[in-house]
């Protein structure tokens, strides 16, 4: 969410940013925000004037009532002033209702105006205009056919989609045996990898209040993603970033404690509305999964340096597991409204012979901090808004698709890279059951 003062002083820049994000339908929001801001400030100014007049008249009434003992005419003058004070009070009550109404609508409008994107973001209407920046590792295609990922898992008796469908419906799964162990091994390795980078490990709440949801994501994203607990002000998290950033709601953070660097484990729950195509069946796009996340709360001047660090951590992690990846920069039309800059780390799929997303790294500037009323107290005593960033460390079971395809051998076995072997009981290879 932008600062209304910025919108007031730079309306053309805000409009241009909306155009860059290919959201022309939101252009009227700028004029509406300015209109509501003017009305709110006018009501506030009038109310402040009436309060000052009330205080002045109250003092005069006191003086006149004291003089009325000697001069009865003073009482009539005082009564007239009392009537004026009463009229002013009625008008102030009306103005306060107007202030509340203008403020609430202005807040709702401001939530819809997208954040100012970084000048380095490539322009484009949708993900088809995203830009590949660099590749890490050599993508290879073996000389034997690679089955669909659920078929690979099934060869180890490692997945049961049918039973999950009976129990929970589409978009759920049972992982079993070595595949379930591999799933947990990847999460444990990712946890220790981030701890090794100096991040503090955290297990957060898996449900959050509605005001936290509003603080960390746009209304559009919330409607598309979040599951609401019926009858309660609680939502199941779609990613632990939500509760991790929410941890700082309404808090004043000492500047000396920055940067806050946290890595968190959680299950994640997502509606995943809409049809997604044949390549997203199986365990690619599901309603429940587990993830290791990283978040940073830092000084504004440090956020771009942290952005570079975070996505590079993802590359390092996947390369340590011998999976080729690439960095794909998100264009303006593919950026969520709160994001200043974002990129995806995509893993190589030998079966599809293309890359697919496994991590998403984002710099959100001060948008979440403003929404959540997070502040930093500087050494000079002045308050300012920190910047927030997030990135996926690893999100199995989707990540398992890339892992299984890149480590599958011609005989159906799957090799285990050295970094995961301690988490797999020393196993170097998984042998299929059938």
The pLDDT tens digits for 317-335 are 999 999 999 999 999 999 9
Domain for residue 120, yes or no?
no
Contacts of 48 (CB under 8 A, 6+ apart): none
Domain for residue 75, yes or no?
yes
Final residue of a domain: which of 112, 143, 159?
A: 112
Residues 366 and 326 reside in one and the same domain: yes
Residues 383 and 351 reside in one and the same domain: yes
Positive or negative CA dihedral for 265, 186, 421, 319? negative
Q: What is the DSSP string of 233-271?
A: S-EE-SSHHHHHHHTTTT-EEEGGGPSEEEEEEEEEE--
Containing structural domain, residue 89 = 4-112
Residues 227 and 367 reside in one and the same domain: yes
Residues 57 and 154 reside in one and the same domain: no
Domain for residue 119, yes or no?
no
Q: What is the DSSP string of 295-315?
A: EEEE-GGGHHHHHHHHHHHHH
Residues 54 and 190 reside in one and the same domain: no
Domain for residue 67, yes or no?
yes
Q: Could you give the CA distance from residue 291 to residue 396 in angstroms, rounded to a whole number?
A: 6
Q: Could you give the CA distance from residue 385 to residue 367 in angstroms, rounded to a whole number?
A: 9
Q: How confident is the model at residue 375 (pLDDT cuts 50, 70, 90)?
A: very high
- β-pair partners for 209: none
Q: Three-class SS of residue 121?
A: coil
Residues 198 and 302 reside in one and the same domain: yes
| pLDDT given at position 171 | 87
Residues 102 and 158 reside in one and the same domain: no
Nearest residue to 180 (alpha-carbon basis) of 161, 157, 149: 157
Residues 87 and 141 reside in one and the same domain: no
Residues 108 and 134 reside in one and the same domain: no
Positive or negative CA dihedral for 319, 325, 326, 331? negative
| pLDDT given at position 51 | 81
Number of H helices and E strands in the chain, helices first, is 13, 18
Nearest residue to 116 (alpha-carbon basis) of 434, 338, 388: 338
Final residue of a domain: which of 112, 146, 163?
A: 112
The pLDDT tens digits for 98-132 are 999 999 999 999 999 999 999 999 999 999 999 99
Domain for residue 121, yes or no?
no
Final residue of a domain: which of 112, 136, 162?
A: 112
The pLDDT tens digits for 214-228 are 999 987 777 778 999
Domain for residue 162, yes or no?
yes
| pLDDT given at position 76 | 67
CATH number reported for the structural domain that contains residue 45 in this entry:
1.10.287.40
Nearest residue to 246 (alpha-carbon basis) of 110, 373, 376, 386: 373
| pLDDT given at position 275 | 41
Residues 108 and 131 reside in one and the same domain: no
Domain for residue 117, yes or no?
no
Residues 150 and 259 reside in one and the same domain: yes
Domain for residue 118, yes or no?
no
CATH number reported for the structural domain that contains residue 234 in this entry:
3.30.930.10
pTM for this one?
0.89
Residues 213 and 71 reside in one and the same domain: no
- Say how many domains are in the chain: 2
């Amino acid at each position: 969410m932008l600062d209304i003062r910025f919108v007031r002083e730079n309306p053309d820049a805000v409009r241009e940013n909306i155009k860059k994000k290919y959201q022309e339908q939101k252009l009227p929001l700028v004029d509406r925000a300015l209109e509501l801001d003017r009305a709110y400030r006018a009501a506030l100014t009038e109310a402040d004037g009436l309060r000052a007049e009330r205080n002045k008249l109250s003092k005069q009434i006191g003086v006149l009532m004291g003089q009325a003992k000697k001069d009865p005419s003073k009482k009539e003058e005082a009564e007239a002033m009392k009537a004026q004070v009463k009229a002013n009070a009625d008008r102030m009550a009306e103005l306060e209702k107007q202030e509340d109404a203008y403020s609430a609508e202005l807040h709702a409008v401001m939530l819809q105006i997208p954040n100012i994107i970084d000048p380095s973001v490539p322009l484009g209407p949708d993900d088809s205009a995203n830009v590949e920046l660099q590749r890490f590792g050599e993508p290879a295609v073996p000389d034997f056919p690679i089955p669909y990922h659920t078929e690979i898992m099934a060869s180890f008796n490692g997945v049961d989609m049918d039973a999950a469908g009976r129990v929970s419906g589409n978009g759920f799964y049972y992982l079993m045996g070595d595949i379930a162990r591999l799933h947990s091994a990847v999460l444990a390795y990712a946890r220790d990898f981030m701890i090794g980078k100096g991040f503090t490990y955290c297990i957060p709440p898996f449900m959050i209040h509605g005001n936290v949801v509003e603080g960390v994501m746009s209304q559009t994203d919330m409607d598309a993603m979040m599951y609401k607990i019926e009858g309660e002000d609680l939502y199941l998290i779609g990613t632990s970033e939500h509760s991790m950033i929410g941890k700082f709601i309404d808090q004043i953070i000492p500047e000396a404690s920055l940067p806050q660097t946290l890595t968190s484990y959680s299950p994640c729950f997502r509606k995943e509305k809409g049809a997604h195509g044949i390549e997203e069946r199986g365990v690619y796009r599901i309603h429940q999964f587990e993830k290791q996340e990283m978040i940073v709360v830092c000084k504004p001047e440090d956020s771009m340096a942290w952005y570079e660090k975070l996505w590079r951590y993802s590359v390092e992690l996947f390369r340590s597991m011998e999976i080729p990846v690439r960095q794909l920069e998100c264009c303006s039309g593919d950026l969520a409204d709160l994001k200043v800059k974002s990129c995806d780390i995509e893993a190589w799929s030998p079966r599809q012979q293309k890359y697919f997303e496994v991590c998403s790294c984002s710099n959100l500037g001060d948008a979440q901090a403003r929404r959540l009323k997070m502040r930093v107290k500087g050494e000079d005593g002045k308050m300012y808004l920190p910047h927030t960033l997030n990135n996926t460390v690893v999100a199995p079971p989707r990540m398992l698709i890339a892992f299984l395809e890149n480590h599958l051998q011609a005989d159906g076995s799957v090799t285990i890279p050295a970094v995961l072997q301690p988490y797999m009981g020393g196993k170097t290879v998984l042998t299929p059951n059938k």
